[in-house]
Amino acid sequence: MITMTESQSKTNLKSRDETNKSPIEINLGFEQAYAELELIVAQMESGKMPLQASLEAYTRGNFLLQHCQQSLANIEQQVQILNEANQLKQFAPEND
């Protein structure tokens, strides 16, 4: 019987998540994500998408929304650093 420690299990899940992401998703900029999200919203609001396509669009839209929110939070942190020190310091976001 093969058993994994909790840290090995987390490492496997993390590496599996990373391999499921395309290079475009890993380096997706805010503007690109926001533009794609707007397109998805417009397509869904049209009411002409089949059910399965709507579900897939919703899933992708949720990913894009989270990406945009995280990007904005990172920029907000940079602005707070700028305001407190009167200069912009390099901000390294915390990774989970």
In a domain, 56, yes or no: yes
Q: Can you give the CATH number for the domain in which 72 is found?
A: 1.10.287
CB 40 within 8 A of CB 64: yes
Indicate the pTM of the whole model. Answer: 0.60
Between CA 68 and CA 72, with CA 71 as vertex, the angle to 5 degrees is 85
Tell me how crowded residue 54 is: count the other CB atoms within 10 A of its CB.
Answer: 15
Give the span between the Cα atoms of 29 and 71, in whole angstroms: 8
What does each of the 96 residues of the chain score in pLDDT, given as a tens digit?
344 444 443 444 343 344 455 544 668 899 999 999 999 999 999 999 999 999 999 999 999 999 999 999 998 888 877 767 677 666 666 765
In a domain, 4, yes or no: no
Alpha helices in the chain (DSSP H): 6-20, 23-26, 30-46, 51-85
Number of domains observed in the structure of the chain: 1
In a domain, 64, yes or no: yes
Residue 46 has phi, psi (to 5 degrees) of -65, -25
The domain in which residue 39 lies consists of: 28-88
In a domain, 21, yes or no: no
